[in-house]
Structures are given as C-alpha cells and as structure tokens.
Structure 1
Amino acid sequence: MMGFPMPPRKIPAALLFLLAIVFAGPAFSQTQALSAAATASSPAPPQTAPHLKALLDTLSNDQTRAEFLSKLRALVDSGAVAEEPPKREDWLSGATESLGAFSGAVLGIVAEIETLPAQVAELFENLTDPFILERIGWAMTTVLAVLAAAILAEYVCKWLLARPRRALEARPARAFFAKFLLLLVRTVLDIIPIGVFAAVAFGVLAMVDLSFIVRLAVVTVINANVLARLVIAGARAVLTPDAPQMRLFRQHNENAAYSYLWVRRFSHAAIYGYFILRAAWVLGLSRAAYVFFVDLLGLLLAGMCIVLILQIRVGVARKLRRFGAKDGRTVRLRETIADFWHVLAIAYIGVAYLVWVLHVGRGFDFLARATLLSLITIATATLVGIALGRLFDRVFQLRPDLRERYPMLEARANRYLPLLRSALKSLLAIVVVMALLEIWGAEPFVWLASASGQGLVGRLISIGVVLLAGMVLWELSSAFAERMRLANPNSTRLKTLLPFLQNAFRVVLLTLGGLILLSEVGVNIAPLLAGAGVLGLAIGFGAQTLVKDVITGVFILMEDTLSVGDVVEVGSHAGLVEKITIRTVHMRDFDGNVHSIPFGEVQTVKNMSKEYAYAVVDVTVAYRENIDDALAVMAEVAADMAAKGPLADTIVEPFEVVGVEGLQESSVWLRGRFKTRPLGQWNVKREFYRRIKAAFEAKGIEIPFPHRTIYMGTDKKGDSAPLRVVNQRPEDVTLPQKRRADAARSARTPGPHIEEHPGARERTEEDDAPLLPSIEER
C-alpha cells in the first residue's frame, strides 16, 4: 500500500515549519537588510588614479625608469623586502583551514544565539499587530488549501488505481521476467499518485498570490515530500515487503521489512532535513549557521548508520561465514572479516564524516565516488564469477548416457577444470584489484603502460607460456603412457618401465621449467648450471655404490629381467615385486615381510612368473601298484582340471606325463607337469594334489607312507626264534617293565627290530593277535 501522501504524524511538524518560516520571515529580512546596510556603510577604497598616472609617467621616461629599477634592485639586495613564504598545499594545511572554518561556523552559531532573544522579542511584538496576524492567517489558510487540494487529488487517483493494484498483486508469477513486469507495472501505479500530488500542488500554488517566504516554505515541503516518497517507492519495488510473491531476489520477509523500515528512516531524515536547512539559508540564515546545522544533520545520519551496523552485525557475520568454500586458504581471512567487519564499517563512517565536516579538499566527493564505484565493481565481479561458474558447470558436464557408458571419462575430461576455474578466478580478482586501485587513485594502468610495467607483463606472459608448454608436454606424455597401457594391458614390463620413465620425464621437465622460470625472473642460471655440474661430479666420486646401483638397475629394467608384479628370487630372498625404484627393488614374501634389495647387490635373479610357468607335480605309489594305472589316473585328474575346474583358465596346455622319476626306499616316484599362466603354478599344484588323493582312494591305489620290513633272523640250523606279542598298551607298562623288555630285546642276537611310523591307527581286537605266527604254528 502507498500510505498517506504525508504521514499523519508529520503534518503537525510541517505546519510548525511553515509557521516558523512565516513568523521568522521579517527577522530574516531584517538580517539581510542589516547586512546590506553594513556593506553600504563600509568605507570606499581610496582613489588611485594620481598614483597610477605618476607610475605611468615614470615608466614612459627612460631615465626615470632606469632610476626606478635601480632603486628597486637596491631595495631587494638590502633585504628590506621580506620574501613571502611559500604556501603549503598538503593535507595538513587543508585540515588546518578546515578546522579554522569549523571554528568560524561555531562562532557564527554563537552570534546567532546571542541575537535570538531580540528576534524572539520582536516576533512576539509583531504578533500583537492585527495586520500581521491577518497576514499569517491568510497565509496558513492558503497553504492548507494547497496541501488539501493535492492530497484530495492523490486520494482520488489512488482510489481509481486500487482495483488494478489489488488484481496485480494477487496475480501469481514464478518466472523472473514475469515477476519483473508485474513489479514494474506496480511501481508505475505507485508513482502515478505521487505525480498527481506534485502536479496539483504546484498548479494550485501557481494560481494563488503568496509572498516569497510562504511560497518557498510550501515548495520546500512539496519537494521534500515528493523526493522522499519516490525514494521509498524505489525501495518498495526492490524489497517488496508487502508482496513477497513478487520479490525478484530471495530474501526473508522479516529482513525485507527491516530494510524497508531503515530506508524510510534515512530518506525522511536526510531529505526533509536538507530541504529545511536549504530553505532557511535562502531566507537569511547565516552561512556559518547553515554549515553547522548541515554538519549536525550529517552527524545524525552517521549515528543512524552506526546503529544500523550494530544491529545487523551478527546476521552479516553469519552470512560472511557461509559465503564461499568451507575449506581453503581464505577461510581464516573470511572468519576474521566476519568477526571485525562492523568495526571496519564504523571506522569508515567516522573517517568519511570527518572528511566531510573538515572539508579536506574534495575529500568527501572523492570518497563517496570511490565508494560507490567500488561497490559497483565488486557487485559486477561477483555476478561475473557466478555466471562463469554456472557456464563451466553447463559446458563441461557430460550427457547422462555418456557418463553411464564411460564412467571415467568425465573425471579425465575435467581433470584440469579446477585449475582453470582457479586461474579465471585469480584473473578476475587481479582485474578487480587493479580497478579498485584505479578508482582510489593509485593508477595501476598508467604504471602498466610504462616501461617497467610492460617488462613485468612480458615476464608474466613468458612464465605463463612456459607453464602452459610444460602442462601440454606432461599431458602428451600421460596420454602416450595411457595409450601404451591400453594397447598392452598384460605387459608387466610396461607397468614397470612407464612409471620409471614418467618420473624421469617429470624430473627433467621440472628442472628445465624451473631453470627457465628463474631466468625469466632475472636470476642468472649460469652459476647454477656450473655448480650443478661440479656437484654431480663430486657425488659421482663419493657415491660409487649409489652409481653402481643406479646403473645396474637401469640395465635390469631395460633388459626386462624383472617387473612389478613378478615373483622372483634375488639371492636368498624371494617374494612378489611391489615397487621398483631407480636403485632398489622392493619384494614382499609369503609372510608379509618386505625386503628392499639394492640393484648393486643383485648377482642372480630367478624369475618365476615370466610369460608362463610349469606346475611340476610329484606322486608316489606303492611298489605293488600298477604304474600305468597310476599314470592314467593322474592324466584323468589333470584333464578334468583343464576342462571344467576353477583353474581351467590358468592351464594353457594339456597335462604332460613325465613318467617314473625314481624308485625310492618304500615307493615309486611318478612325475608330471602343467603349463600355466604366470603366478598360477602354485594354485594348480595344490588343486591337483587335493584331487589326486581323492582319486587314488577311490581307485584303491595306495600312497605309501614310510615303513620297514621286519626280518626275524635264523640260526645255523635255519630256525628262527618265536615272536611273541603282548597285548598291552604302552601307558600300562611301568618303567621297570620297559627297562627289562628293552634289555631282553637288546640281548637277542639276531632279533627283530621294530620302528613305529606316523601312520599308526587305533588298536583293535585284531591288533591284539600275534603279528607273526610262532615257530610251532609254522
């Protein structure tokens, strides 16, 4: 809602102001008359025509002119004429003059206060005159008629626009452009009654006959009211406290109402105060008093700004802490600004007020212009940064089908996107800083146009080219390495050599790039190169073992003796190769221990995972078994493993039956082998042993355990002693019995010798029977 054209609580103040102007008019007029009289009564300057004529005659004659010049020269040489000291034009002299002017304003106010009782007495004396009272009544009636006509015309206009306004505010809108159009039309409807008020007021004022004082007072009130209401209408269009559905920017309703309230306060205080003081000055208020009251008005506005800052300091600090990234280098700076921003703002307001009050040159004009341009620059840079961020998100985002088809493509394509974002943000920040410096008078662009500035820009461009070239070379090397990996995914040599070569290329690239950057900065790199050569020679002589390790490692890697992922045996250590550096190989054994072996100590390398491997299996059978049947069972088990076992993909060729490898003490040794993929021989061997045991048991083929045949021995007649077996458990035999049995057994010559074997079973009833028949049974 527009509200009353002039708030009801302000009508008495406006009328009081009009009365004061009308009553004080004669006093102001009298003051002006006194000032004019004082000016007229001041003594006139003396007549200088005879003096000028004499000087002209002197300068026209050569002789008299020469005498005059000689006298002047002698006077100057004698030192009688004192030289005027040069006038200072620095800020200190300006501040001193401003303090003098402020002191003069205070003295002027004191003088005005001293004459105030006389003016008040004269005012009350004039009120006793019926003619003056009649003039005052007629003036007040005319003023009230002008304001009443303007207010009535505005009310009629508002009544006619009330229905379209309500329909406009009730219309829903979600799109930004639609909200903008509705808000623009509503703002026009708000401004039309203000225009009608001003038109009717000035029109009626032009038709009535008023004195200059009364007319000036009415015009002041009308202008102040119109201007203040236009400012408030603009604030209502931006903040829309009474129509949240039409608000263009996201903002809480309470914050919008709070901001609108403070806009009203500032506009009323600043606009009404300025117009009243201006009218008073035109009517005869002294310059000193006018300046003093304007400074008081500025102090009031500065105090209102400080109160506003103190009220919103917590909310603004919370907004500042939420602004930007949650982690990074700027977090601490942002936290500090959030804690002390109100102190900086209050200090800025204090400095601006002092600059304005003391009239330091054109300091306040410069400060106001620089502040406004700085805010515009920062706001524009913020909008540009947000637009660039959204543009990056839209341009560098892959389609959902491509993201689903190639999950890693977006990460690879946007690898340098954060770096590009940071570079653009840094460039934008540099431009903003330079613009701010230019606004505040530092003139950085003038410096950049100079020889030193152009030299710095050239160096920065050279550094950027070097960095870009290094980045391009590194990306090309990475793309080449990635292509080699994709072309040979199972090549362990590439897995070993590519990281080594990439590290070497990175070192070379960083070294060359660093030297070039140092030379661009201005550092002489010739001593660095010479020192690096001498240092390298010294290191070569002092670290022969290191050089030996490096050279041996280079040849081992070039010859592809071992690679990352191989299982090797180096000297007395064996394990899986996890990492290879330029001088050491790191292996992890089966127990998880890591062995680091320098290449200089490597004499022999046993690689058990090169291209393919053999799983050699050894099986033993009893002498009584058929060898061909046992070999056939082995071949059958191996064929089943290669056909449908879990390790079928590991076996690359059919099982090879080697045959009988040897005749052992109690078994026949059979051998065969599988050809497997690298690192698969041990799993194949374990699986074959598991299956062959089950197959031999199913076929009744005995896998012998270590045993010996007992020979009883015979005497000269060919008879052997009887063997008696006592059915007694070992734990039931006491120690003396064991000793007697051992002594009797050792006394027999020859006697049987029995050794226990690990394959003993539980004793049964059959075990209690005699192991061998006695002599008599035979």
Structure 2
Amino acid sequence: MPNPRRIGLLAWLLVTLMTLGLPALAQQEPTTPYATLADLLENEQSRGELITRLRQLAEGGNPEAAAAETATASEPTLARRLAESTSQIAGDLGSQLGQVADTLDDLITGQAETPIDMSAVFAASLNLVLVILATLVLFFAFRRLARGAFTRLSQWSLADGGPPPVLRLLVAVAIAATIDVLVVALAYLGGNLIATFLVGEAGELSTRASLFLNAFLVIELIKAALRMLFASHYEGLRLVPISAAEASYWNRWIARLIGLAGYGLLVAVPLINVYLAPALGQAVGTLIMLGAFVYAVTVVLKNRLKLRQAIEAAAKKSDFTATRISLNLFARTWHIVAILYFLVVLTLTLLRPEDALPFVLMATLKTLVIVGLGMLLSSLLTQTIGRHISLSEELRHKLPLLETRLNAYVPNALRVIRVVILVAVVLLVLNAWGAFDLAAWYASEAGSALVGRLVSVALILVVAAGLWLTLASLIEHRLNPETGSGEPSARAKTLLTLFRNALAIAMLTLTLMIVLAEIGINIGPLIAGAGVLGLAIGFGAQKLVQDIITGIFIQVENAMNTGDVVTVGGITGTAERLSIRSVGIRDLNGTYHLIPFSSVDTVSNYMREFGYHVGEYGIAYRESIDEAIIALQEAFDELAASEEHRMNILAPLEVAGVIALADSSVNIRVRIKAVPGMQWAVGRAYNRLVKLHFDAKGIEIPFPHTTLYFGVGKEGEAPPANLRLMKQPFDSDGRPAGQATAGPDPHFEEDPRAKPNSTEHD
C-alpha cells in the first residue's frame, strides 16, 4: 500500500508547485506539468521557497499550514516587493561576481568551453578601430563644415528687430538641430560605406561595425538634442539661459555620461558576450552602470549649492507667483530628484538588463523633449505677458479703452495657460516613465468628462470675454466725440454709461451660472435662493428699491444728465456722477454731495434748451428812465458784438420796464436769452458793461441815504450837538494842505457859537 505520509507529501508538493506557478501560468500559455515544474525549478526564488518548505516538512511541519503560508506569501505587499527586489539585486550581483571569477579562471587556465582565438579577436578589434576612427573623422569634418552655418544662425538669433526673440531662437535652434542631425546621418552613412567596402570583407557589414554604428547613431542623436539645450559655442542657439562656461561644463559632463553608458552597454558588452563570455559581459555591464551612477551622483553633489543659487536667482526675477514658488522648491530638491533618477536607471538596468536601457533612453528623451517644449512655451508666454500690448494709433483713437482692457485680460489668460502647460508637462513626464497611463485615463469616462468640462469652461470664458470686449468697445465708440456720430448728447452719455454697467453685471452673472452648470453644479437651488433673497431684500430694503425705481424714472424722463447744472434736494451744483440709485453733485464751493433718489422730490435743471439772465438795475429818482433804458440797450449791443459772448446770446434784449419804485431807486428789469449753461457768464459780462455805460452817461446808481436827527427838548428847543467845527487850510492851488486832526490847531478857526463842554444851547 502507498505510504500515507508520501501521499500527503506529494499532495502538498503539488499544491506548493501550483501556488508558486500561478503567476507564471496566468501569463503563459498552457504547458505540460513537466515544463511547468522545470520552469519553477529554474527560478531561483521559487526553488529556494520549495527547499524551505521541504525542510520544514522534514522537521515535522504541517503541510497544510505550509501551503496556506505559501498561498498568503503569493500576495506580496509593497514592502515585500521592495525587499524581494533588493534581495534579487544583491543575489544577482553576488552570482555575477562568482561567474566572473569562474570565467576569468577558465580563460586564464585555458579550460573554457570555447577557446578564444586571439588572432581573430585582434583582427576584429583592428577592423572595429578603423571603422570607429573613420566614422569619427567624418563626423568632425562635417561638423567643421557646418560651423559657419551655426555661427550665422546664432548671429541672426541675437540680432535686434524682426520677430520676437523667443520666436527667432526657436527657428534658429530648429534649423541648427536639423543641420546637426544631417551631420550625424552623413557620418553614419559614411561609416557604413567604409565598414562595408574598405574594412574587413568587401561588400559585407560585420556585426561589430553594425553594433558601433547603431550605437553611434543613437548616442550622437541624443547628444544633438543635448546641444540644443547647452550650445556652449553659440549663444544664440542655447535654449537654457546660462553662461557659456556653465553650458560647456554641463554639456561636457552629460555627454561623457551618455557616451560611457551608451557605448559601454551597446558596443562593449555585446562584443564581450560574443568573443569572451556572456557572464563576463553581464558583469562588465553592471560595472559600467555602477560607475556611471557613482560619477553622476558625485557631479550632482558637487554642484548642488551652485545650481541651487542659480535657480533661486532665476526665481527672484520671475513675476509669476506660481513660477517663483516652483523654482524655489526645485532649487532645494533638484539634487534629490537627480539622484533618484540615476538610482531608478541603475535599478531598472540591474533588474531588467535585456530591455532596461532602451526604455530608460526613450523615457529620458521623452522627458527632455516634453520639459524643453514646456520651458519654451513658458518662456514665450513670459515674454508675451511682460510685453505691453500696443494697438495702432487709429484703433486707439477710435477705442481709447480697448488697449487698457487687453493689457488687463490677456496677461491673466496667459498665466492660466502657463498653469495648464505645467500640469500637462507633469502628466506627460509621468506617462513617459510608466507611472501614469495618460491615454487610458483620457479614454476613461472620468478623464474624458473632466477634459470636456475644462475645454467647455475655457470656451465659455473666452466667448464671454470676447463678447464683453466687443460690446464695451462699441459703447465707447459711441461715447467718443471724435468717432461714431460725433459728440453724443448728455442723455446718450448717461444712458450708455448705465447700460454698460448693467451689461457688465448681467454678463458676469450669466457667465458664472453657465460655468457652474457646466462643471456639474445644479444651479436650480441657486436661482431659487436668489429669488427668495431678492424678495427678502425687497422687503427689508425698501429705501434702496425706492432709490432704484425713482432713478429709473428720472433717467426715462431725462430729468438730468451728467454735466448738467441742477438743483436736487436743495443742493445746487453740477451733476458729476449719475447711477441708477443716486446722483453726485459738486456745488460752487467744490463740495461733493451724494444724494439718493429717494430724497429727491424736485429736479431743477438749468441746462435745458436755453437759459435767461434776469437783471434788475436801479437808478436815482432824478434820472430819466428812457435814458437809462437806452444805456441798457447800448450795453447789450456791445455785449452782442463781442467775440467772446455773441455765440452765447440767442435773442435780442428783452426790457420788461420799471418793476418797482423802491425806497431810494427806480428798478428796471431786463432779460437776456442765452445758451444753456452760459447765462451766468453772459450776465456777469453784461453787468460790467451796464456799469460802464451808466458812468459814461452820468446816470446815478443810488445807494441808501441816512438823515441824522438830534431830537427836540421838552420846550421845543434844539438840544446841543456838542460839535466842534474845524477849518482845513488850503494851499496856493486851492487844494487841502493836509488832513484834519483832533485837538487845537493854530490854523483852524473855532466857531464862536460853539461852546465846548456845554450841555445847554445858548
């Protein structure tokens, strides 16, 4: 009978093999159990776990528990995967060192399975060296021929005038990159021809030459892309804004790193695999990557502070807050990012040596292209944002506020575009390294919906801004007296200004509602809430509602306009600002009064059609009234003939006649019809001329007279006046010789009838 323990052992072994083989079976086509078992035993990790389980059984362990533990271990966590990867890398390095030692021992002792033909190796090396030298000579010769073109392109890029500097730089770099690629291609083609017809067997391209030429093409194209960023000899072709010395340093350092890793892994390692031993080639590849990693980390740490200071200096020059913050953050962490990058490259190369290098090269190239394009677009937008938008003189004359609005709106829109570019660059870089599947995300429902909503919101905002600019420009065109239909009326100015303000509020509200609806927010409750809020405001702010309604009727009835001289609420002055709720009045003293329409009962407008200067002029009773009227008419005729005021007078002088016999004067009223707003200036000028004409004719303009009465005593006698009369001496010409002075004077004669200090009359 079969041994039960053996049956259990075989059953456990089968479960263990199936558990360990599930990942492989899930990814491969069905195979026979023998092939599956052979695959599992070839895997060092699964073989080690199987040995561990067998030893546990040998020590009396439970097969079912071991199988359950194995099944649990088949679902590794992130920490477990990292630990397994680290263990695998360490194990691979250890095994490689052992294989290298054995291989070198076999090569030295001559016990290798395939003996090395040193003559064949020497001949192959000589042919390869000839191909390398010929290709490099052709490459440098072609680059020397292209140096003149590079110099002229650099000078054109740095020249003043013409297209914007960034656009000239892009065009020059694109042409230079095309020439550089052609140089590489010509050198590659020349190397192929030399390797095929002049070196080795004629008419046949050897594998060795093919390896080098393919590596040369890939590496030099990468270096050409690098020269687009760091053109150390041509300042006008340098995309990165650094000095020539710094550009030369970074270009030389990165080129060495690319050459070391590229030629080592693409040429040296395959040749060692073919001519020496695969184990030795794998070890050399690992040493090359370790050396490149140490070299790269050393250079990064050496330039950590220097590059940080340069990035911080660039951040201080930026006017965009987001860019300044991003640059400051990158300045503090750039070396960490660089070291992590080289660490990822090293890890991928050690874990996946067969396809790691092409993946890393392609991901790095994509990253450089994406970041470079993002920087170029950002630089172009930065120059556009910093540049003042200037319109033509004719357009500025017709639409005076359009240039100001464009300089306010366009920079903000360009800043938003810069943020979008930054987000797109980050997503594309993550997609290039496989950390984020951008295509799958966009194909998903959430991704397509988000992108569609963002595009819709952007289009809504652009259309709203364009519509507002168009309508506001048309209103300004109508308000501009030098364009449109000429000088607009005061009513047109007021109504168009109010319409522009109402249009701005309406468009802002509608745009906000449409954007909220587009991003998925239900605006129904918002509209209902706004209605309830409006009703509550209507009840709680009746005064405000009264202001608005009264203001609407005042505008409809054209009671007043901006610039009119009015009396509103007991205040007389010029209406400087007129809104739907209130009016701003500037009085004669310069005081500004803001009067709500709810307190306005009457509007007195002095600027409608015409105005009158009403003048009342008094003459003495002894003067002739007819002669005074003639003088008034002559003063008007002179006023009407003057250059300054004749355009402001609309009708002949109206003489109403004598309107009053006052206490000391006879008052005559006249009226002058004038242009509205000029009646006060006309009146002031007419008053001046009336005074001059009255003086010329000797017509007295009376002034109040005062009679002194000293009273009468009880018996009818006159009371004493207590006066002292003094005579002022005269000179020989009959004019007064001096001023009268108080006190006794020998030149004065005292009236003998006056008795000083007497209280009674003699």
TM range (shorter): 0.5 to 0.7
1:551 is paired with a residue whose SS is helix
Question: Which of 664, 679, 682 is the aligned partner of 1:681?
Answer: 679
Does residue 107 of structure 1 match 2:103?
Answer: no
Counterparts of residues 724-743 of structure 1 (less than 5 Å): 725-727=725-727, 732=742
Check whether the contact 2:569–2:595 (CA below 8 A) recurs between aligned residues: no
Check whether the contact 2:620–2:664 (CA below 8 A) recurs between aligned residues: yes
Counterparts of residues 206-221 of structure 1 (less than 5 Å): 206=200
Does residue 300 of structure 1 match 2:298?
Answer: no
Distance 2:755 2:86 in 1: 130
Which residue identity lines up with residue 265 of structure 1 in the other structure?
R
TM superposition shift of 1:99: 1.7
Counterparts of residues 11-22 of structure 1 (less than 5 Å): none
Which residue identity lines up with residue 604 of structure 1 in the other structure?
T
Structure whose alpha-carbon radius of gyration is higher:
1
Corresponding residue for 2:82?
Answer: 95
Corresponding residue for 2:348?
Answer: 356
TM superposition shift of 1:117: 11
Check whether the contact 1:235–1:260 (CA below 8 A) recurs between aligned residues: no
Which residue identity lines up with residue 96 of structure 1 in the other structure?
A
Check whether the contact 1:146–1:204 (CA below 8 A) recurs between aligned residues: no
Distance 1:383 1:257 in 2: 21
Which residue identity lines up with residue 742 of structure 2 in the other structure?
D
2:552 is paired with a residue whose SS is helix
- CA deviations over 1:185-213 (Å, ceiling 9, x no partner): 899789988987887789887389xxxxx
TM superposition shift of 1:298: 3.1
1:732 is paired with a residue whose SS is coil
Which residue identity lines up with residue 258 of structure 1 in the other structure?
Y
Name the TM-score, length of structure 1 as normaliser. 0.63
Does residue 339 of structure 1 match 2:331?
Answer: yes
Change over 3 Å in CA distance of 1:417–1:658 after alignment to 2: farther
Check whether the contact 2:191–2:213 (CA below 8 A) recurs between aligned residues: no
Question: Which of 357, 365, 370 is the aligned partner of 1:372?
Answer: 365
Distance 2:459 2:612 in 1: 56
Check whether the contact 1:615–1:673 (CA below 8 A) recurs between aligned residues: yes
Corresponding residue for 1:269?
Answer: 260
TM superposition shift of 1:670: 3.1
2:650 is paired with a residue whose SS is strand
Counterparts of residues 167-566 of structure 1 (less than 5 Å): 206=200, 234=224, 244=234, 253-271=244-262, 273-274=264-265, 275-276=267-268, 278-282=270-274, 283-284=276-277, 285-286=279-280, 289-290=283-284, 292-303=286-297, 306=300, 310=304, 311-319=306-314, 322=317, 326-337=318-329, 339-340=331-332, 342-343=334-335, 345-353=337-345, 355-356=347-348, 359=351, 368-380=361-373, 402-403=394-395, 406=398, 408=400, 411=403, 435-436=428-429, 438-439=431-432, 440-453=434-447, 455-456=449-450, 463=457, 474=468, 478=472, 481-482=475-476, 485=479, 487=485, 489-566=487-564
Check whether the contact 1:187–1:233 (CA below 8 A) recurs between aligned residues: no
Which residue identity lines up with residue 554 of structure 1 in the other structure?
I
TM superposition shift of 1:307: 5.2
TM superposition shift of 1:436: 4.8
Check whether the contact 2:550–2:598 (CA below 8 A) recurs between aligned residues: yes
Which residue identity lines up with residue 379 of structure 1 in the other structure?
G
Corresponding residue for 1:52?
Answer: none
Corresponding residue for 1:59?
Answer: none
TM superposition shift of 1:299: 1.6
Distance 1:183 1:453 in 2: 36
Check whether the contact 2:138–2:187 (CA below 8 A) recurs between aligned residues: yes
Distance 1:238 1:591 in 2: 70
Corresponding residue for 2:585?
Answer: 587
Corresponding residue for 2:611?
Answer: 613
TM superposition shift of 1:741: 9.7
Question: Which of 645, 655, 669 is the aligned partner of 1:657?
Answer: 655
Which residue identity lines up with residue 85 of structure 1 in the other structure?
A
Which residue identity lines up with residue 347 of structure 2 in the other structure?
V
Check whether the contact 1:179–1:247 (CA below 8 A) recurs between aligned residues: yes
Distance 2:544 2:325 in 1: 48
Q: Greater CA deviation, 383-392 or 251-260?
A: 383-392
Corresponding residue for 2:71?
Answer: 85
| Number of matched pairs | 645
Change over 3 Å in CA distance of 1:466–1:600 after alignment to 2: same
Change over 3 Å in CA distance of 1:666–1:79 after alignment to 2: closer
Check whether the contact 2:349–2:356 (CA below 8 A) recurs between aligned residues: no
Structure 2: unaligned runs, 5 residues or longer:
1-33, 35-62, 111-115, 158-170, 729-738, 745-749
Q: Greater CA deviation, 672-681 or 263-272?
A: 263-272
Change over 3 Å in CA distance of 1:744–1:113 after alignment to 2: same
Change over 3 Å in CA distance of 1:725–1:557 after alignment to 2: farther
Larger relative CO (CA 8 A, sep 6+): 1 or 2?
1
Distance 1:144 1:363 in 2: 27
TM superposition shift of 1:363: 7.6
Distance 1:481 1:143 in 2: 84
- CA deviations over 1:450-493 (Å, ceiling 9, x no partner): 44455556655665676567557656764674576455845333
Percent identity of paired positions between Structure 1 and Structure 2: 29
Question: Which of 689, 692, 703 is the aligned partner of 2:690?
Answer: 692
Distance 2:475 2:138 in 1: 79
Change over 3 Å in CA distance of 1:521–1:305 after alignment to 2: same
1:85 is paired with a residue whose SS is helix
2:436 is paired with a residue whose SS is coil
Distance 1:478 1:96 in 2: 67
2:566 is paired with a residue whose SS is strand
1:296 is paired with a residue whose SS is helix
- CA deviations over 1:35-64 (Å, ceiling 9, x no partner): xxxxxxxxxxxxx9xxxxxxxxxxxxxxxx
Change over 3 Å in CA distance of 1:143–1:442 after alignment to 2: closer
Structure 1: unaligned runs, 5 residues or longer:
1-47, 49-77, 124-131, 209-214, 750-778
Change over 3 Å in CA distance of 1:617–1:429 after alignment to 2: farther
Check whether the contact 1:397–1:410 (CA below 8 A) recurs between aligned residues: no
Check whether the contact 2:615–2:670 (CA below 8 A) recurs between aligned residues: yes
Check whether the contact 2:613–2:680 (CA below 8 A) recurs between aligned residues: yes
TM superposition shift of 1:500: 3.5
Change over 3 Å in CA distance of 1:239–1:339 after alignment to 2: closer
Does residue 568 of structure 1 match 2:566?
Answer: yes
TM superposition shift of 1:82: 3.8
- CA deviations over 1:155-210 (Å, ceiling 9, x no partner): 998999999789989999966899998998899789988987887789887389xx
Check whether the contact 2:232–2:247 (CA below 8 A) recurs between aligned residues: no
Q: For the aligned residues, what is the CA RMSD?
A: 5.9
TM superposition shift of 1:281: 4.9
Counterparts of residues 727-766 of structure 1 (less than 5 Å): 727=727, 732=742
2:71 is paired with a residue whose SS is coil
Check whether the contact 1:281–1:290 (CA below 8 A) recurs between aligned residues: no
Change over 3 Å in CA distance of 1:85–1:224 after alignment to 2: same
Name the TM-score, length of structure 2 as normaliser. 0.64
Distance 1:359 1:370 in 2: 17
TM superposition shift of 1:370: 3.7
- CA deviations over 1:535-557 (Å, ceiling 9, x no partner): 44444444444443433333333
- CA deviations over 1:697-734 (Å, ceiling 9, x no partner): 445444333334679999999x9999984348787369
Counterparts of residues 622-637 of structure 1 (less than 5 Å): 622-637=620-635
Check whether the contact 1:108–1:289 (CA below 8 A) recurs between aligned residues: no
Distance 1:748 1:187 in 2: 135
Distance 1:685 1:109 in 2: 113
Change over 3 Å in CA distance of 1:611–1:329 after alignment to 2: farther
1:653 is paired with a residue whose SS is coil
